[in-house]
Amino acid sequence: MNNSINKYPKNNLNMLEGSLFDKIVLFALPLAISSVLQQLFNAADLAVVGRFASPVAMAAVGSNSAVINLIVSLFVGLSVGANAVIAMQIGKNRKDQISETVHTVITISLIVGVLLIFIGVILAKPILILMGAPLEVMNLAVIYLRIYFFAMPAIMIYNYGSAILRSKGDSRRPLYAMTLSGVINIFLNLIFVVAFHLHVIGVALATVISNIFGAGLVLYFLMTEEETFRLSFKKLTIKKEHLLKMMSIGIPAGIQGAVFSLSNVVIQSSVNSFGSDAIAGSTAAANFDFVSYCIINAFAQSAVTFTSQNYGAGKFDRCKKVFRICFMGGLFSSAIVVFLFVTFRYQIIQLFTTDPRVIEFAMKRIMTAFVLHFLIATYEVSGGALRGMNHSLLPAMISIFGTCVFRLLYVFVYVSRVHTFEALFRVYPYSWVITGIVTMSAYYLIRNKMFKVQQ
């Protein structure tokens, strides 16, 4: 192949030829760092209000995390579809379709982002009431959520634009954009909260402004790309055939993420019943989970992209190698993070709060659930590989059962009778084992069937 797609500029990776291990690591590492930085910058919101405002302000910010993840996960799921579709088009050498898909993706991101502003402003208080947010944090939580949603257009553009860049092997420049956004976020947090005493208003404003900078940098990257991937606002459009392909992969992924977040909303509602100290402690401990998940998800996204390109090119043996490398990479790197975080858990938690009751609840969550967090790799990476083979619905259905239906039954049936903080958080490792076993089995069954038929 001698066209522009396969000249592989410095920001791209040749996923179709040569060694895989080093390329997957080079692709996954910036993606993991980017996701971890995003979470650390979000954690900075909690750390700043926890250290310089009050536990109530910290709980107000923390009580919104499940809601935000629920809504963002639903719509960012389409970016997974965009990644897979463009990667397959690269594997099949469809240059004309790539340009059309790029402009469809960015158009959708703009529309979704604007719609989410209205959804967030109108439904902020009803959602928090439905979740049972404590009265002492309600007003601050509503203010934070409404301001936060003005960042949604920028968040969508960043995620969808990054999916385009990653589809061709470029995971470094989204990292640059996230780093800039995060540094700006921390700087503005300190100014707004410490200097001007704006508590939750300050951290929300910092989030909006910093995300605008990150999204702007991603747009600049796309506007200066090689011709096939170059973004032009004059060409913004929605091509039905490309949108439908994106939706066939992205909607199940988005629903999976949203349903996963929905189960967390229910769990958050149960956490709320233990009071503001439990909310603050659980929120601080959740940052441990997020860092580990970001690393696993980086290898899962690598599985999507590398599998999509090689599957599109008909290179099935490479697809198998991609899965093995991504699975082992996600499993072992997460296990290392879990070991380090558990070892230094007290020192890390004290970065967020020095309140002894808050720390007590954080320790309970860490030692009950986080110690087995590496098990998530079993269903995240195998699900990513299935999406790379154009099978998105099945892993979504499995995850909906394992991470939502099972958790809801557990909370409503078991936790309603054994109402302890530890009993509540045992739902996580139980659901990880069930979902992992079923998803891994589905991956091997479908892979064997598909590769045998097409060879």
The pLDDT score that the predictor gives to residue 204 is 87
The pLDDT tens digits of the residues spanning 324-356 come to 999 999 999 999 999 999 999 989 888 877 888
Q: How confident is the model at residue 136 (pLDDT cuts 50, 70, 90)?
A: confident
Q: How much is the mean pLDDT over the chain? A: 85
**pLDDT reading at 130 higher than 80:** no
Average pLDDT over residues 383-391: 91
**pLDDT reading at 7 higher than 60:** no
**pLDDT reading at 3 higher than 50:** no
The pLDDT tens digits of the residues spanning 73-106 come to 777 777 888 888 888 888 888 888 888 999 999 9
CA distance 145 to 136: 16
**pLDDT reading at 11 higher than 80:** no
Cβ contacts of residue 412 below 8 Å, gap of 6+?
A: none
**pLDDT reading at 455 higher than 70:** no
* Of 439 and 145, the one with more pLDDT: 439
CB 323 within 8 A of CB 388: no
The pLDDT score that the predictor gives to residue 439 is 95
Lowest mean pLDDT among 110-124, 130-144, 349-363: 130-144
The pLDDT score that the predictor gives to residue 1 is 39
The pLDDT tens digits of the residues spanning 417-435 come to 888 889 999 999 999 999 9
The half-sphere exposure of 177 on its side-chain side, counting CA atoms within 13 A, is: 26
Cβ contacts of residue 227 below 8 Å, gap of 6+?
A: 4, 99
* Of 135 and 204, the one with more pLDDT: 204
The pLDDT score that the predictor gives to residue 135 is 74
Average pLDDT over residues 113-141: 82
The pLDDT tens digits of the residues spanning 160-216 come to 999 899 888 888 898 899 888 888 988 898 888 878 877 788 888 998 999 999 999
**Tokens representing residue 75 in the block:** 């719509």
In this prediction the pTM is: 0.77
Q: What is the dihedral of CA 383, 364, 74, 179, to 10 degrees?
A: -90
- Domain spans of the chain? 18-454
- How far CA 43 is from CA of 3, 48, 77, 235, in Å, comes to 44, 9, 23, 38
**pLDDT reading at 52 higher than 70:** no
The pLDDT tens digits of the residues spanning 254-278 come to 777 777 777 777 887 888 888 888 8
* Of 168 and 127, the one with more pLDDT: 168
Which percentage of the chain shows pLDDT scores above 90? 34
Radius of gyration of the chain (CA): 21
Which percentage of the chain shows pLDDT scores above 70? 92
- Give the three-class secondary structure for 196: coil
The pLDDT score that the predictor gives to residue 324 is 96
Q: How confident is the model at residue 53 (pLDDT cuts 50, 70, 90)?
A: low
The pLDDT tens digits of the residues spanning 284-326 come to 888 888 889 889 989 998 999 999 989 888 899 999 999 999 9
The pLDDT score that the predictor gives to residue 2 is 41
Q: What is the dihedral of CA 212, 384, 2, 20, to 10 degrees?
A: 110
The pLDDT score that the predictor gives to residue 160 is 92
Longest dimension (CA), the chain: 66
Look at the block and give the residue holding tokens 């020192």.
Answer: 347
Cβ contacts of residue 229 below 8 Å, gap of 6+?
A: 98, 99, 102, 164, 168, 222
